[in-house]
Amino acid sequence: MSSNYEPLIPAVLELNQCGVPVSANFGDTYHPEWGALEQAGRVFLHGNDLQRRWSGKDSFTVCETGFGLGHNFLALWQAWRQDPQRPRRLHMVSFELHPFASHDLHAMWQRSLPPAEQALACKLLAAWPPLLPGLHRLEFEGGALTLTLAFGSVERLARQVSAQVDAYFLDGFAPRVNPAMWTRHLFGQLVRMANAGATAASWCCAGEMRRGLRDAGFLVSKVPGYGGKREITVATLRQGLGRQRTQAARGDKVLVIGGGLAGAGVAQALALRGHEVTVFDPVFAQGLGASHQGHIAAALTPVISRDDDIRARLSRAGTLRALQRWQGLPEPARPLRCGTLEVATDAQHAADRRLALDSLRFPSDWVRWVEGAQAKALAGVEPAWGGLWFSAGQRVQPEALLCALLSLPGVYCRDISVSRLHCNDSQEWVVSNADGQALASAPNVVLANAWQACALMAGTPGLAALPKVDAMHRLGGQVSYFADSRLCKTHAIVAGDGYYLPAVDGLNVGGSTYTANAAASKITAQGHQDVMNKLTVLLNMQKARLGPMPVPTNGWAGWRAAVSDRLPVIGQVVGAPGLWLACAFGSRGLSWAPLAGDLIAARLNGEPLPLERELIRKIAPR
C-alpha cells in the first residue's frame, strides 16, 4: 500500500442532549447551540468582510478548513445569490477528513435548515460525490459557483490543492481535540495559496493558534464575538505576501488542434466558461463526429489498484468529471450509466481483487464484489470467479457525443489541417496551413491531435525538447459488432481482458485489439478472431452454453496514442506560455477528455484546480 494512501472513514451522525450534532471522532460539536447558519454569517462572512471585498470582482475564492455539515457553504451560497454586487464567479475549497454520507446530510438538513437554504441543500445533495479520497469538483448556478471538496487529512491535502484564495474560514474542531487543523504547517500552506490581501476568520481565539497565524504571515486581531463567545479571531495577510490575482482569461479566443475526444473535451470546458473556441481538424469535412464515424459504442469505466496508484486515481477523477460534464447532454450523446462488471479470470485473480477492495475500503456504491446470481442480475452474465461491480460504468456513443460537444455555443469547427505553429511578436500563437498561410491566432492554443502534436511542435521555433512527449507512439486497434440475439441480453459493460457492451440498435460491441507498429488501422479477420477469443472468457461461454461464438457482422478500427507510462499528457508546455497539450490518452480517451478540459480551463481562468498537485506533475508535458 502506498504511504500516501489514506482510507476515507465517513463521519457518524450523533446528537448531544441539546440536539446539536457531535463528532464521534473528535468529541466536539459541529456548531454552537445558537445555530450553524448564524455562526457562518457572523463569524466567517462578516469576519472576512465578504460583501465589501468581493463587490464587483470577476471572481472570488474562499477556502474552508472543515466542511462538516456544509452550513458555511450554504450560507456563503445564499449571501452570494442575494448580493447584486456579487462576483461573477465564486469558488470554495473545503477540506474534510470525515465526510458525511448523503443520507446523513439529508437527515440533518431537513431538521435544521430554513426554506431558502433547504432549496440550496437539495441541489448540493443531488451533486454530493461518493465518499472517495481526493478532490471532488461540484458545480452550481450554471458553473458560476464551484465547490471543490478535499476528502482526506488536511495535513496531506493542503499540500496538494492549487487555488488562489481571497478568504479563509478556519473552522476545524477545537485545537485541544483536533490539533492538525491549527498547525504552523497548515497555516504555511494557506499562505502559499493566498492572494495578496487575503483575510481569515475563526471562532477560535487560542493563543497558540493566533501566534501560528502571525508566524505564517498574517496580521492577527481579536474582535467581539457573539452568542456567548466573547471574542473571535480575524486576520489579514501582511503586505508583500501572497500572489497577485490572476486575470481570468474570460472571453479570450482559444485555438484547439484536433477534433477527436481530447479536443472536444477541451472545447466544451472552455465554451462553458465563455471562451470563443475554434477547433481545427480536416476530418470535419465528413462531419463533426467523423473521427469516430461508425464507432457504435465504447466503454467508460474506472479502475482500481491495490495501492491506489496514479493511473487509478486519474481514472477515478476522469470518470467523475464525465458524469458531471456529460450526464446533462441530450440523448444519444448522453452516456448510458449502466455499470461495469470487471470479471476475474481465475481464483487467484479473484483473491487479489478482493484483497484490493479490503485495503481501499471504497464505498460499496462506487465498487463492490459480486458473483453468481447477483452478477447475473446486474450485468446479464455469470462469471466463473465473480468480479468487481462499478456503478459508474458508462456506455458511450462516441460519434453522437462528439457532435454534441462540438456544436455547443461558442465552439466553431473548421475542416482545415494545421501544419505550422509559431508565436508572434504580440505573444499570440499563430496557426498556419502547409503553404504558410495564417489561419488564426490567439493567446492560447491547445494541441489535442494525439501523436501529430509531436510533428507540429518539432517545427515550432524556440520550443525545448520534451523527451517523453517526443517518444509518443501510436497503436492500431479494432472492435467487432455482433447481432446474435443470444448476446443482446447483456445490460451492463462486461470488462476484463477486453470488453462487451450493451446493445445499441441491436448491435453489441466487443473489443478490443492492440496493434503496435501498424502501417494502417483497419478491420481484419484476425482482429475479429482476437475479439471473439476475449469474449469467450468474458461472457463465460461454456457456462452460458451458447455454443460456437457468434460471427461478427462488422466493426470499427482506429488509433490510440500513448507514452511510456500510459498516463495522459495534459498541461502547459514549460517555457511556452499559452501552449497547451492534451494528448496521449491511450485507451482511456473517454475518461481523460473531460478531465483535461476542466484542468486546462481552470488554469486559464484562475480557478481552484480539480486535481491534486502530485497528479498534475505526473501528467505534465515533459
Residues 352 and 481 in one domain: no
Residues 376 and 505 in one domain: no
pLDDT for position 518: 77
Q: Percent of the chain at pLDDT above 70?
A: 96
pLDDT tens column, 575-596: 999 999 999 999 999 999 999 9
Neighbouring CB atoms inside 10 A of 517's CB total 8
Joined together, the cell numbers standing for residue 89 give 464567479
Average pLDDT over residues 269-283: 97
416 Cβ contact partners less than 8 Å away, ≥ 6 residues apart: 280, 282, 433, 439
Residues 24 and 127 in one domain: yes
State the chain's mean pLDDT as an integer.
93
Name the pLDDT band for 486 (thresholds 50, 70, 90).
low
Which CATH number goes with the domain that contains 419? 3.50.50.60
**Whether pTM exceeds 0.85:** yes
pLDDT tens column, 487-498: 657 899 999 999
Residues 468 and 504 in one domain: no
Residues 38 and 103 in one domain: yes
pLDDT for position 1: 41
Q: Side chain identity at 361, as an amino acid letter?
A: R
Average pLDDT over residues 469-491: 87
Residues 87 and 104 in one domain: yes
pLDDT for position 543: 57
Whether pLDDT at 228 is above 80? no
Residues 530 and 461 in one domain: no
Q: How many domains are contained in the chain? A: 4
Neighbouring CB atoms inside 10 A of 176's CB total 11
pLDDT for position 247: 64
- More reliable by pLDDT, 34 or 87: 87
Q: Is residue 320 part of a domain?
A: no
Joined together, the cell numbers standing for residue 528 give 475479429
Residues 532 and 571 in one domain: no
Name the pLDDT band for 28 (thresholds 50, 70, 90).
confident
Residues 115 and 146 in one domain: yes
Q: For strands 165-170 and 59-64, give the pairing.
A: parallel
Residues 411 and 538 in one domain: no
427 Cβ contact partners less than 8 Å away, ≥ 6 residues apart: 443, 577, 578
Whether pLDDT at 545 is above 50? yes
Q: Note down the domain range covering 456.
A: 253-292+400-472+565-619
pLDDT for position 249: 59
Name the pLDDT band for 220 (thresholds 50, 70, 90).
very high
Give the range with max mean pLDDT: 193-202, 476-485, 539-548: 193-202
Q: Is residue 321 part of a domain?
A: no
Q: Is residue 509 part of a domain?
A: yes
pLDDT for position 36: 86
Residue of 578, 402, 560, 372 lying closest to 477 (CA atoms): 560
pLDDT tens column, 607-616: 999 999 999 9
DSSP state of 507: B
- More reliable by pLDDT, 480 or 243: 480
pLDDT for position 565: 92
Residue of 511, 590, 616, 621 lying closest to 264 (CA atoms): 590
Residues 148 and 258 in one domain: no
Joined together, the cell numbers standing for residue 177 give 481535540
Q: Is residue 369 part of a domain?
A: yes
Name the pLDDT band for 481 (thresholds 50, 70, 90).
very high
Residues 92 and 180 in one domain: yes
pLDDT for position 2: 46
